[in-house]
Structure 1
């Protein structure tokens, strides 16, 4: 007997986006893919809060902020099999190659990391680590850090929106492409914006002048703009999305949200 689509969606998202063992979905179809991508950021929230909590504990114990932030990034990569970082590196190598779409996709499929991919990983993940470390200095800042890491998975509603094609006929991109109705994606985005803004306001209220409430919506806008830019570039250059591109979108969204929080 098949499980409800939403439950299989939770199982699919958990199994795809994390390295933590869990039951597999009983079936995978368009409804399950839609539920997985729409709820991805909420499904990963417990894991991201755990990771941020570890980073916050390290900071409280006197570990320098930069070290705590970098260790937080490293732990999250460990618990997600580095799937999004791998996608970022492959996407940078493919798009930066300047080759025809077929050749660029083949470069991305190979999985080895070239100079552009390596440079991008250092810059993006390193900057995330710096920003996370500064955020976790704040009282209760680890909560915002955890939610920011989870909100990065909101990028899937952009990459899997109706009308965005797959770049090839196999792989994760093909399975997820076009699975998310744009209206439903907008609702998911607004939910993350409201929750994040409320949490930011609460943290700022508990510790006056620690962080401005508007920094979360600013981060959402910055992250979403980065995601849209990467997505449009990928569709124009490659003809659609792949699993690697979805990973790159997630890392771009995380970076954008953290940059917005840094402005507050």
Structure 2
């Protein structure tokens, strides 16, 4: 993910300056997507609002991914091609930054080196064998799971794509909570680390879970359960990865955030494909 300027305590981004919803959304879309959104505030209050708005970014990304998949199905394409397209849309909308973060995190964890050396490996521009293998397996899992969901109907596949995208960004909100430090003094990880109050992170999980249940209700009772389990499992698996990264690296980085997003998305898609 792109490294923003360091948050400034000065005006207009001072802690005393209230953050509007528009500024929070600008921060979220400007840092979590490649959409041409101008971020006007880089201070901690803006980062807090932006990370709390992260699931909204997921909703937009997921809706676009589902829309492309449904369009291909409407034109006569099979479930597999629709799944490939739906997986490609989030990658395009982030310029592959979350996937790159996943690969770098895998290389850092797989190196088995001390935290400082692992962080240097993650910062290198090339991708090592652990990163390549992780990317291949994750993308195959996402496509296979989404193809399975589309195979049960366009509506189920579309719901899976949206839930996965929202859950991926929800994992970022949770990872930016108080008590999860940054591994580096600079970069996006430092800009958003510990900006979200724990209670607000829990609230975001509850809201997203409720909305996923509401989306599943349009398809049936079992789809309500599946959507809820997809969100809960995505957050839980991402939390396990987050804790491991904090132990290994001493905190979070922009790469770790990308890895968490892809891990949560994959988990949600796998759960959505079951049954």
Same fold flag (TM > 0.5): yes
Match of 1:146 among 162, 186, 194: 162
What's the CA shift string for 1:86-119, capped at 9, x where partnerless?
1000000011001111110000001311111011
In structure 1, the partner of 2:233 is: 222
Shift of 1:158: 2.1
Going from structure 1 to structure 2, the CA distance change for 1:257 and 1:124 (only over 3 Å counts) comes to: same
Q: Answer yes or no: is the 8 Å Cα contact 1:51–1:75 preserved in 2.
A: yes
In structure 2, the partner of 1:244 is: 255
Q: Which moved more, 1:65-74 or 1:77-86?
A: 65-74
Structure 2 counterpart SS, 1:125: helix
Gaps in structure 2 of 5+ consecutive residues: 1-10, 13-17
Shift of 1:71: 2.1
Question: How many aligned positions are there?
Answer: 258
Q: Answer yes or no: is the 8 Å Cα contact 1:53–1:146 preserved in 2.
A: no
Structure 1 counterpart SS, 2:31: helix
Q: Are 1:7 and 2:22 counterparts? A: yes
Q: Answer yes or no: is the 8 Å Cα contact 1:201–1:213 preserved in 2.
A: yes
Shift of 1:139: 4.0
Shift of 1:5: 4.0
In structure 1, the partner of 2:75 is: 61
Tell me how far apart the structure 1 counterparts of residues 88 and 184 of structure 2 sit (CA, whole Å): 31
In structure 2, the partner of 1:18 is: 33
Q: Are 1:174 and 2:190 counterparts? A: yes
In structure 1, the partner of 2:91 is: 77
Q: Are 1:197 and 2:213 counterparts? A: yes
Q: Answer yes or no: is the 8 Å Cα contact 2:214–2:224 preserved in 1.
A: yes
Shift of 1:59: 2.1
Tell me how far apart the structure 1 counterparts of residues 27 and 125 of structure 2 sit (CA, whole Å): 23
TM-score, with length taken from structure 2: 0.88
What's the CA shift string for 1:18-77, capped at 9, x where partnerless?
11212x232211111111111111133123201211112212322221222122212221
Shift of 1:230: 0.6
Write the mapping of 1:17-166 to structure 2, written as runs, cut at 5 A.
17-22=32-37, 24-137=38-151, 138-141=153-156, 142-166=158-182
Shift of 1:213: 1.9
Tell me how far apart the structure 1 counterparts of residues 60 and 198 of structure 2 sit (CA, whole Å): 26
Shift of 1:221: 2.1
Q: Answer yes or no: is the 8 Å Cα contact 2:105–2:259 preserved in 1.
A: yes
Tell me how far apart the structure 2 counterparts of residues 237 and 73 of structure 1 sit (CA, whole Å): 29
Gaps in structure 1 of 5+ consecutive residues: 206-210
Q: Answer yes or no: is the 8 Å Cα contact 1:85–1:248 preserved in 2.
A: yes
Q: Answer yes or no: is the 8 Å Cα contact 1:165–1:177 preserved in 2.
A: yes
What's the CA shift string for 1:227-256, capped at 9, x where partnerless?
111111101111000000001101111111
Tell me how far apart the structure 1 counterparts of residues 53 and 226 of structure 2 sit (CA, whole Å): 23
Tell me how far apart the structure 2 counterparts of residues 9 and 111 of structure 1 sit (CA, whole Å): 30
TM-score, with length taken from structure 1: 0.92
